[in-house]
Chains A and B, each alone.
Chain A
Amino acid sequence: MIKVERRPVSDPGIDENAKKLTPEQIEGVIRHVLEKESAGRLRTFVETCIHCGLCSDACHYYLAYKRDPSYSPVAKVRLTLWDMIRRKYRVDAESIKMYARISYAECNICKRCSMYCPFGIDIAYLMTVVRRICGLLGVVPQYLQDQGNSHMYTYSQSWVPQDDWVDTALWLEDELRMDIRNGRIPFDKEGAEVMYSPHSLEAKFKTNLLTNIAKIMNVAGVDWTMPSFDGWDSTNQAMHVGDYETMGMVERMHFEAAMRLKVKKIITSE
């Protein structure tokens, strides 16, 4: 394993969970993800990269860390996927911690590097593959995993259960009427033109944003609605965890809510 200079970070989601890993588990998960779940893109991207470093300047981390080569996009692949493949998937828990740090924290999956690589290699995709491995192994930044768990328990990102959601929207409607005469936040209006799906924080800390949306909808005379039932939250942190099963569930609930309301389109939050 190649050592890179990094400031130590203590995150129980990564440190504590990595302690519980067994070598068989690690090898099994890597094999599953690299050989069963991924196919053409993974192999083609890994086999095509000519190690030319032309993607480096694309990454804001590389630029911000004074052109430290270990932050360049291709270096992130070198430190994770190439490392696993070269060592035939037999890597230790320390390596998994490093993979987790690189794929979760040192890449924003922003795809800027794809626009700078002469081959158009999608390093962001490769990083999501690494996240998938870490996610299945449970080595995930604690706060992020917490939101993944929240999606599983409350079907919203930040532990806002459905009854809280309805309650919040109702008092927001009261507030709305202080600014807009007869302003409405219409729930469950079947056949409406638009379903608005808020960010779950709009039902928690940033409720003024939902009020703003309601004002715009009322002023512009939009035929809109929101579901009072689960599926109202437009966010999906499970995707970032690499927990695609939960991601799929969240996604399906979201679209099913729209289908149930028979709306023409969904508008998400900013």
Chain B
Amino acid sequence: MLLEVEGLDVRYGRTHAVKALSLQVADDELVTVLGANGAGKTSLLRALQGLVPASAGRIRFGGVDITRMSPPERLRQRLALVPEGRQIVISLTVHENLLMGAYCRSDSDVRRDVEGVYDRFPNLAARRDMPASVLSGGEQQMLAISRALLARPRLMMLDEPSLGLSPLLVERLFDLLRNLRADGLAILLVEQNTQMALEIASRGLVMELGKVVLEGPSEALASNDRLAAAYFGHAAQHAG
């Protein structure tokens, strides 16, 4: 197993955002975590990257215990996160954002890999030296993903990457994830777009109030009534 999480707890003061959560991702898997607003999905990913401390539990990555490591140390273990809201550095140029993606690297292939990003996304190449704030939502998401990929992760975690994108761009995003997955990258995908996430994932987990309430192969989950009930029940409550 590439990622093994056991009994993970995340607390913010009195809020218990993640409760005794266990989770595993294999080397060549795309696993999706689903759940309504406030279920604790972001808290889970932030704890896995080390941005919030785990108040209990153990995280092993590539056979190494990373539970007490700082976010940069985890990145150097090649665990990367594309955060909620993309978190593009808007006062840096597109190119500088990409260079920041490779900040943790000291090898000489960085230049080649950055050029590879430009080949893949001509839109980014055209705006190379402009402040990243001029990018559209879709371009920002491409930049955020490319930036994470430049750290050469073994596992990439994405927090609701389809949020705010047009249906066409969502389609393109999922194609990209499918390709990355085919190239051998392991992915942990948090999504609200249940149907599409289950289409590309091999397995899924459903979170509710910090706990995993449902887990299994994608096909089984997609046809599970309880998923719809749990998920959309809460989504409806939080909507508006």
On whether the two chains bind one another, the answer is no
Which A residues form the contact surface with B (CB < 8 A)?
Answer: none
